[in-house]
Amino acid sequence: MKELLLADVPFRFDGRLWLEGPTDRFMGVGRLQLLEHIAVLGSISQAAKAMQMSYKRAWDLVASMNAQVRTPLVQTQTGGKRGGGASLTPAGQQVVAEFQALQARFQAFLAAETARLNG
Amino acid sequence: MKELLLADVPFRFDGRLWLEGPTDRFMGVGRLQLLEHIAVLGSISQAAKAMQMSYKRAWDLVASMNAQVRTPLVQTQTGGKRGGGASLTPAGQQVVAEFQALQARFQAFLAAETARLNG
DNA sequence: GGTCGTTATATTTGTCCGGATATAACCCTG
DNA sequence: CAGGGTTATATCCGGACAAATATAACGACC
């Protein structure tokens, strides 16, 4: 590509990758961030607020993920201390760790391609 | 990941990558396919029909791509033989070739990650 | 037992993108 | 000079998806 074809302003590669289940999506960047926030904040509603995401959407995503695995990624508690809460199960923590690593490898791929583009 | 966490049905990786310009997207899989169809069929409307894409959308995409480069990727002719037509410029052919190669490398990356997932 | 913040869920509202539609301009061909 | 198929462009309309809203249930804690 390069100078001949494109404008002076640099073009940037970008991309997304995700894990697709049999029915709907299982894991992606948005879902990953949601899990990370839940792990830190201990609540679906707090996580949603921190991401300026509607609670409904956040809850739907959690339900979707939990429905696709044997052991849920997020366990919830209604009522009780502080009114309730949510936290990651060991399975959830493992999924987060693995997908974070995958994202890192993908970023490296993207960086390599960007270098090839500009080189 | 693997057997412990996920259902029996295999999950599969999927992803997209694209080239982002300063204002809007410059190149992606959809735009690539559109260019390929234009190259073969010699017409924007024919290409759109072959992809079951509305002519409006196809034309918008072509205009977007042409607006972001010095020399257009697609040259068009209104009126004339067969009422007009469209074809790829050398610049357009080069972009198609390069992005096809990129897509191939990306598919390889995806395959490697899928192997790691199932391995 | 009242309070509180959360999960859980349904329903309504709103917004945005794409498709459909319409029409003009173009120019080779017969 | 009329016809035909395409590019070029504006406008209207609907459906999908997200957000907002509403409400019930829950259970520890004071």
Among A18, A71, A102, beta carbon nearest to B5: A71
- Residue closest to sugar C1' of C28 by CA: B80
Assign B89 to helix, strand or coil: coil
The percentage of residues in chain A with a pLDDT greater than 70, rounded to a whole number, is 92
Residue B106: per-residue pLDDT: 97
Cross-strand bridge partners of residue A12: B20
Is the pLDDT at B79 greater than 80? The verdict is yes
Which domains occur in chain A, in start order? 19-118 (1.10.10.10)
Residue B9: per-residue pLDDT: 60
Residue A22: per-residue pLDDT: 82
Query: In Å, what is the CA distance from A91 to each residue of A115, B5, B49?
Result: 36, 7, 47
CA nearest to B5, candidates A59, A88, A33, A105: A88
Mean pLDDT of A29-57: 96
Strand D: positions under 7 A of a protein C-beta atom: 4-11, 18-22, 25-29
Cβ contacts below 8 Å, chain A against chain B, sum to 97
Residue pLDDT, tens place only, B26-75: 999 999 999 999 999 999 999 999 999 999 999 999 999 999 999 999 99
Residue B12: per-residue pLDDT: 86
Q: How far is Cα A58 from Cα A68, in angstroms, rounded to an integer? A: 16
Residue A11: per-residue pLDDT: 85
Choosing among A6, A35, A89, which should be mutated to test the B contact, i.e. which has the most B CBs within 10 A? A6
Is the pLDDT at A20 greater than 60? The verdict is yes
Is B87 near strand D, with its CB below 7 A from some atom of it? no
A19·B13 Cβ contact <8 A: yes
**Which comes out higher in pLDDT, residue A18 or A1?**
A18
> Is the CB of B91 inside 8 Å of chain A's CB atoms?
yes
Q: How far is Cα B100 from Cα B62, in angstroms, rounded to an integer? A: 18
Residue pLDDT, tens place only, B52-66: 999 999 999 999 999
Is the pLDDT at B6 greater than 60? The verdict is no
Amino acid making up residue B31 = R
What B33-40 contacts at long range (C-beta under 8 Å, 24+ apart), as own/partner pairs, is B34/B58, B34/B61, B34/B62, B35/B65, B35/B73, B35/B74, B35/B88, B35/B92, B35/B95, B35/B96, B36/B96, B38/B62, B38/B74, B38/B86, B38/B87, B38/B88, B39/B87, B39/B88, B39/B92, B39/B93, B39/B96
Is the pLDDT at A3 greater than 80? The verdict is no
The percentage of residues in chain A with a pLDDT greater than 90, rounded to a whole number, is 76
Is the pLDDT at B112 greater than 90? The verdict is yes
| Lookup: nucleotide whose C1' is closest to A54 CA | D19
Read off the tokens for A39: 């792990």
Residue B118: per-residue pLDDT: 78
In chain B, the DSSP E strands lie at 12-20, 25-27, 74-78, 84-88
Is the pLDDT at B7 greater than 80? The verdict is no
